[in-house]
Amino acid sequence: MVPVTLPSSGAEPDGARRVRVLSYNVRSLRDDRDALVRVVRACEPDLVCVQESPRYWRPFKQAAWLAGETGTVILAGGGRVAAGPLLLGRLGVTVLEVRDRLLPKTRGLHARGFAGALVRIGDAAPFSVTSCHLSLDPDERLRQFALLPQQLRAGEHGVIAGDFNEHPDGAGWRRLARAFQDGHATAPWGGTYTSVPDNPYQRIDAVFASPGIDVLACGVPHGLPGVEPADLRAATDHLPVLAVLRVPAG
224, part of any domain:
yes
6, part of any domain:
no
Which pTM value belongs to this model? 0.96
Query: 59: pLDDT confidence band, cut at 50, 70 and 90?
Result: confident
| Domain that includes residue 131, residue range | 13-247
What is the domain-level CATH number for residue 183?
3.60.10.10
Query: 55: pLDDT confidence band, cut at 50, 70 and 90?
Result: confident
pLDDT of the residue at 57 = 67
156, part of any domain:
yes
2, part of any domain:
no
208, part of any domain:
yes
Report the run of H or E that residue 198 belongs to, with start and end. Answer: none
- Say which residue, 214 or 5, is predicted with more confidence: 214
Query: 135: pLDDT confidence band, cut at 50, 70 and 90?
Result: very high
1, part of any domain:
no
Q: How far apart are alpha carbons 48 and 62 in whole angstroms? A: 15
141, part of any domain:
yes
Sign of CA dihedral 27, 221, 36, 152: negative
Q: Exposed (0-12), middle (13-18) or buried (19+): which is 169, by Cβ within 10 Å? A: exposed
7, part of any domain:
no
Query: How many structural domains is the chain composed of?
Result: 1
Report the run of H or E that residue 210 belongs to, with start and end. Answer: none
